[in-house]
Amino acid sequence: MMKSGLSLLQSVLALLGGLTALCGLVGAAISADADILLTVAVGLGALTLVRFVFRPISFWLDGLAAVLIAVALVLALPRGSAMPGHYWFAMVSAWAFAWLFVDQLSGEIRKGTVPRKTMGLLIPAVFGISLLVMWEIVTRGANVPPVLLPAPSAIGAQLENSRGILWADFVQTFVKSVIPGYIIGCLAGLIVAIAVDRSPFLKAGLLPIGNFMSALPIIGIAPIMVMWFGFDWQSKAAVVVAMTFFPMLVNTVAGLNAASTIERDLMRTYAANYWQTLVKLRLPAAGPFIFNALKINSTLALIGAIVAEFFGTPVVGMGFRISTGVGRLAIDLVWAEIAVAAVAGSAFYGVIALIERGVTFWHPSVRGGRA
């Protein structure tokens, strides 16, 4: 143990990875038609056990072992049947080596021996790829019915084959429903918030109603919106407007009160009028609150548009494809659609977060300094 230079957890992982690779090697040796590449890979994995008797090895070799075993295993997976028993040893081995690699890498980053900027990105990448590889091996290796869970490769192939359909769905749901609904809903929330803030009457009357409405399950109004605005994107955009309006309203009303008393007194000493105070003080001070609402709404809007399409739509749209895809047992298409939605949603959120960093650069939460 001392010779390997590893922590307890790392030692356990190294031992597990090496021993399972050894088991995989033995399994390959006694089986009739061993896959050559996989045999070589697990052989290399088993060789890492020398670190316990000879000398420590670089953690990059652990990463290499993980990649080699994973690639060989995925290539060796049989089509249409479960994989041989000893392949499972190889899978556990690849997983252990990947974990061992990431654990050592993060340790090295903390010590400063490898640059944080580039290598820091490697950790989530290894994590995500490991997850996909495991998913691939388990679904195909155990011959899981595609209706329950298709393999990532099948979803990828479906993404490639149905590019036209997926693009049309994306345009229908994201470009036509989410974006206009989001803009209208957020803008309306912002304007009404300013009006509510200005008028004590509206504040007393509208805000409680707003809070009540925001507690309603907005999705429940989707069928009504379909009746009012028709089957096409307009009704979905209307649902998105309803979903995004209240978070923006409530956040902006709170944000408009964020300016401190001294900051307001200052405006008063300049004899600034209402609009000057609003534009030069209160709206900038409300920025962090407004961006909070924009970020919340970016995910709400996509959920709203997709679910609203379950209640009636022309024969295009992400929600339509998901609901009919499940009905036709075209589960890989459903997953492809979910993947598109996830990427679109993350990108949307990411863009808003980037704009936020640019606009509210001064806020302690962004600049990471003192208040």
Specify the residue for token string 């490898």: 114
Burial zone of 363 (CB within 10 Å; 0-12 exposed, 13-18 middle, 19+ buried): middle
Retrieve residue 331's tokens: 């589960």
Site string for other proteins, 287-326 (x = CB under 8 A): x---------------------------------------
Among 122, 134, 149, 272, binds other proteins (CB under 8 A): 272
- Of residues 201 and 275, the one with the C-beta less far from other proteins: 275
Half-sphere exposure of 348 (CA within 13 A, CB side): 22
How far apart (Å, rounded) are the C-alpha atoms in residues 363 and 288?
A: 8
- Of residues 53 and 271, the one with the C-beta less far from other proteins: 271
Specify the residue for token string 């390997």: 4
CB 164 within 8 A of CB 333: no
- Of residues 42 and 285, the one with the C-beta less far from other proteins: 285
How far apart (Å, rounded) are the C-alpha atoms in residues 70 and 85?
A: 16
- Of residues 112 and 369, the one with the C-beta less far from other proteins: 369
Retrieve residue 333's tokens: 């298409």
CB 135 within 8 A of CB 151: yes
Residue 262 touches other proteins, criterion: CB under 8 A: yes
Smallest distance from other proteins to CB 209, Å? 29
Q: For 148, phi and psi rounded to 5 degrees? A: -75, -55
Residue 370 touches other proteins, criterion: CB under 8 A: yes
Smallest distance from other proteins to CB 280, Å? 7
Residue 275 touches other proteins, criterion: CB under 8 A: no
- Of residues 118 and 261, the one with the C-beta less far from other proteins: 261
| Greatest distance between any 2 Cα atoms in the chain | 91
Q: Pick the stretch among 53-61, 130-138, 329-337, 355-363 that binds other proteins (CB under 8 A).
A: 355-363
Residue 276 touches other proteins, criterion: CB under 8 A: yes
Residue type, 89: F
Q: Pick the stretch among 102-110, 126-134, 205-213, 264-272 that binds other proteins (CB under 8 A).
A: 264-272
Size of interface with other proteins, in residues (CB under 8 A): 24
CB 4 within 8 A of CB 51: yes
Residue 281 touches other proteins, criterion: CB under 8 A: yes
CA angle 366, 370, 371 (to 5 degrees): 85
Q: Pick the stretch among 51-59, 98-106, 208-216, 261-269 that binds other proteins (CB under 8 A).
A: 261-269
Specify the residue for token string 């654990």: 103
Which residues of this protein are in contact with other proteins, per CB under 8 A? 260, 262-263, 265-272, 276, 280-281, 284, 287, 360-364, 367, 369-370
